[in-house]
Structure 1
Amino acid sequence: DIVPSFGDKSAPDTRAEAGPYDESEANPVRPYIDLGAIKVLPREGLNLRLEVEEQSKQIVAVGLDYADSTLQVQAFAAPRSGGLWDETRAQLLEQVRQQGGRAEEREGALGTELLAEVPTAVDGGAPIKRLARFVGVDGPRWFLRGVIGGAAANDPIAAER
């Protein structure tokens, strides 16, 4: 079993050059789509979906669809002193296993990530297992969590796009 070390910030070594960026680090000349806590660089063929909490009408996640892949991104406030990804990843690992799925940690472009087979209910049939890749990045005072589905969940070439 994996024993995570809690409290350390988790971010890719290339975050300063390749992102995700803190608002203070982003190029102010580039034309970002401003979604509040998340800003997205537009790209040909990229479709955005806003996931809204019904009662508060607050945006809780942004869905990005590109080619045969999807990315759901959520932004959270975080302490300056420590990171949230290690603890969040351990909780996700436990949740997936409790649901009857499988998950394993591996190293990816954004650091340690979780590759999971998650049971998904199908109308009128037996549940199927859906492949999902969970990624997280701790920023200066924020934490981004992403869930990647479709081709980019396990295909490095699709993920690079």
Structure 2
Amino acid sequence: MFRRRRREQPEQVVEQDPAAPARDSGPWDADEPHPETDRIDLGGLRLPHNPDFDVRLASVGDQHVGVVVLYEESSLQLQALAAPRSSGLWDEVKTKILAQAQHLEEREGPFGSELRGEMKVDDGSRPARYLGIDGPRWFLLAVISGKAALDEAVAAAYIDFVKDVVVVRGSEPMAREEPIPLRRPNEQTGENAEDRPGFNPFKRGPEISEIR
């Protein structure tokens, strides 16, 4: 039914197109305009879907605290932390990493300053790159290790992955450096899965395993 005023034409609803992203790439904040692409919804992180990547949730006890992505004899570790409204965390976290690790040097990378060198593992050491991205009230730490830490061609796939990550900080109070909560894709909170746009109950979702 149209509603008329005076004798004008019927009232029309104008649909507005989504705002264009203000930047060329992310990581994106959930509240800023960003490309609407196929992503894996893990609650605090929405990850681009890449069929070549093996995505796993890292857990401590019953809490999911990060993500590990495996590809080409390499791994990418992602962890999103709550940050103060007034300042970022990367400078502080970088200082802590340098104090605890040896054979690391600071270089410029695709997200600004990063650390490159080696990280300790159970059987010795492993090539590694530490990348930190400060966002609005959040901090994203990305650690690339293995072949990709030395091979730029393999690293490029991980860099593109990180550039399309969406961080969902939420508005609730959180302590400084507190991990932003993650969940498995089939664990819905605050809304029913059926209420989400594009939800298809018959479509098989991404399979996410866990490491502890």
Shorter-chain TM-score bucket reads: 0.7 to 0.9
The correspondence for 2:99, drawn from 94, 101, 111, is: 94
Q: Is residue 106 from structure 1 mapped to residue 104 from structure 2 by the alignment?
A: no
Consecutive unaligned residues of structure 1, counting only runs of 5 or more, are 1-14, 123-127
- Residues 37-80 of structure 1 show CA distances to partners (whole Å, capped at 9, x for unaligned) of 111010121111001111xx111010111233211000011112
Residue in structure 2 matched with residue 119 of structure 1 by the alignment: 120
**What is residue 135 of structure 1 aligned with on the other side?**
131
C-alpha contact 1:72 1:147 (8 A) present in aligned 2? yes
- Number of residue-to-residue matches in the alignment: 136
Unaligned runs of at least 5 residues, structure 2: 1-21, 158-212
Cα drift, residue 140 of structure 1:
1.0
Alignment partners' CA distance in 1, 2:30 and 2:95: 28
The percentage of aligned residue pairs carrying the same residue is 43
Superposed, which structure 2 residues align to 1:1-150 within 5 Å? 16-25=23-32, 27=34, 29-54=36-61, 57-96=62-101, 101-122=102-123, 128-150=124-146
* Counterpart Cα distance in 1 of 2:35 and 2:127: 36
Kept in 1: contact 2:28–2:34 (CA 8 A): no
The Cα shift of 1:28 comes to 6.5
Quick check: which has more Rg, 1 or 2? 2
Give every structure 1 segment of 4 or more consecutive aligned residues whose post-TM-superposition deviation is greater than 3 Å.
Answer: 26-29
Once residues 32 and 70 of structure 1 are traced to their aligned partners in structure 2, the CA distance between those partners, rounded to angstroms, is 19
Shift of 1:142: 0.5
Aligned mates of 2:84, 2:59 — CA distance in 1: 25
Supply the RMSD in Å over aligned alpha carbons: 1.7
Matched, 1:157 2:153: yes
1:118 deviation in Å?
2.5
Partner of 1:10: none
Secondary structure in 2 aligned to 1:92? helix
Shift of 1:81: 1.4
